[in-house]
């Protein structure tokens, strides 16, 4: 049989029987279908998301996602723009970062009266949660790099709850009148509203986006964001809002403290 040159980027199929080729084509067709399904994830609604996110994990991703990523290198690299994982490090390399940024931390923290306010879209009342409510969610630890746009970075060990687990337990992110569809944006701000960040929903649901209550094995100090801060290691430190007061949902990009001062709204790296 005539040997065709192998096109760039295609698997070497020159030794395959026609049966193998048919199997491969079918596998590719299926993984493409599965991938397209995931691309429509934002239309999947919270029911679909909570199903997906409650699947057993492989490498920190829900198994169905991981399988799609493994199934097709080319498509997965496209999808990985959103779902790649930030590198994790040995815990022994963790250090305590400098305190950087005190906007929104001006008032003394009253840990007794602090509540996390979760504001659904539309007219619904805010739900108030305690730190114990967040600590009752599955605890996740990770050692990742905190990168500041000022040019420094440091490895930190964090403990907290996945934002996705929080939303699965408190499904308050639905659109008004369409509770099965997720709002496309999340807005977080300090209790006094002086520091605020916006996230797209895919970033909020990323498996390494945590509502953190511990840094390097200790409860957060006030200046590092007690009692609860955001950590999202695919983005710069400016998005890691300390002392979360309110989480709200939005259909438009929420205002963002540093985006208003000229930085990139997404601030991914
Ligand atoms: N409330 C609040 N959170 C904030 C900031 C801030 O000014 N106020 N600064 C951000 C910036 S720019 C960085 S780099 C990180 C630093 O976190 P650290 O102080 O725990 O090192 O916090 C982020 N979260
Ligand atoms: Mo920063």
**How far is ligand 1, taken at its centre, from the CA of residue 219, in Å?**
16
Longest Cα–Cα distance of the chain, Å, equals 79
Residue 219 included in any domain? yes
Same domain, 40 and 130: no
The verdict on 181 and 140 lying in the same domain is yes
Q: Are residues 27 and 69 in the same domain?
A: no
Mutate to test the pocket of ligand 1, among 106, 240, 244, 259 (most ligand atoms within 8 A of CB): 240
Per the structure, the count of domains in the chain is 2
- Most ligand 1 atoms within 8 A of CB, residue of 96, 99, 101, 222 to mutate: 101
Residue 3 lies inside a defined structural domain of this protein: no
184 and 119 share one domain:
yes
CA 105 to ligand 2 centroid distance, Å: 15
pTM for the model stands at: 0.75
- Same domain for 47 and 129, yes or no, is no
Residues 46 and 70 in one domain: no
17 part of a folded domain = no
- pLDDT tens series, the chain, 269 aa: 444 443 323 333 343 445 555 545 545 544 444 443 444 344 444 545 554 555 555 555 554 444 433 443 333 333 344 579 999 999 999 999 999 999 999 999 999 999 999 999 987 899 999 999 999 999 999 999 999 999 999 999 999 999 999 999 999 999 998 888 999 999 999 999 999 999 999 999 999 999 999 999 999 999 999 999 999 999 999 999 999 999 999 999 999 999 999 999 999 99
Task: Indicate whether 214 and 85 sit together in one domain.
Answer: yes
CATH code of the domain in which 139 resides:
3.90.420.10
Residues 33 and 88 placed together within one structural domain of the fold: no
Supply 170's token pair.
Answer: 């408190």
Question: Do 116 and 133 fall into the same domain?
Answer: yes
Identify the CA nearest to 157 among candidates 209, 212, 81, 100.
212
Do 45 and 65 belong to one domain?
no
**Does residue 18 come out as left (phi exceeding 0), alpha (psi in the -120 to 50 range) or beta?**
alpha
C-alpha 84/C-alpha 203 separation (Å) is 11
Residues 186 and 199 in one domain: yes
Question: Could you tell me the strand order of the sheet in which 185-189 lies?
Answer: 127-129, 116-119, 246-250, 185-189, 196-200
Instruction: For residues 64 and 161, state if they share a domain.
Output: yes
Name the residue range of residue 28's domain: 22-54
For residue 198, being part of any structural domain is answered with yes
């Amino acid at each position: 049989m005539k040997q065709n040159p192998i096109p760039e980027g295609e698997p070497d199929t020159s030794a395959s029987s026609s049966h193998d080729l048919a199997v491969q084509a079918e596998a590719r067709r299926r993984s493409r279908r599965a991938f397209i399904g995931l691309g429509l994830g934002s239309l999947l609604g919270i029911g679909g998301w909570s199903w997906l996110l409650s699947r057993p994990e492989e490498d920190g991703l829900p198994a169905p996602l991981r399988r799609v990523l493994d199934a097709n290198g080319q498509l997965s690299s496209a999808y990985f723009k959103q779902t790649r994982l930030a590198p994790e490090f040995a815990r022994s390399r963790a250090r305590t970062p400098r305190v950087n940024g005190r906007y929104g931390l001006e008032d003394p923290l009253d840990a007794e009266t602090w509540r996390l306010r979760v504001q659904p879209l539309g007219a619904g009342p805010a739900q108030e949660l305690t730190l114990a409510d967040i600590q009752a969610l599955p605890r996740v630890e990770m050692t990742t790099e905190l990168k500041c746009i000022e040019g420094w970075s440091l490895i930190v060990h964090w403990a907290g709850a996945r934002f996705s687990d929080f939303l699965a337990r408190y499904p308050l992110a639905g659109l008004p009148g369409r509770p099965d569809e997720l709002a496309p944006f999340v807005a977080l701000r300090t209790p006094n509203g002086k520091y605020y960040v916006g996230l797209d929903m895919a970033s909020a649901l990323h498996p390494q986006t945590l509502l953190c209550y511990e840094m390097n094995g200790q409860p957060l100090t006030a200046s590092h964001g007690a009692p609860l801060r955001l950590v999202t290691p695919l983005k710069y430190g400016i998005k890691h809002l300390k002392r979360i007061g309110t989480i709200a949902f939005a259909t438009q990009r929420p205002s963002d403290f540093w985006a208003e001062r000229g930085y990139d709204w997404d601030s991914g790296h």
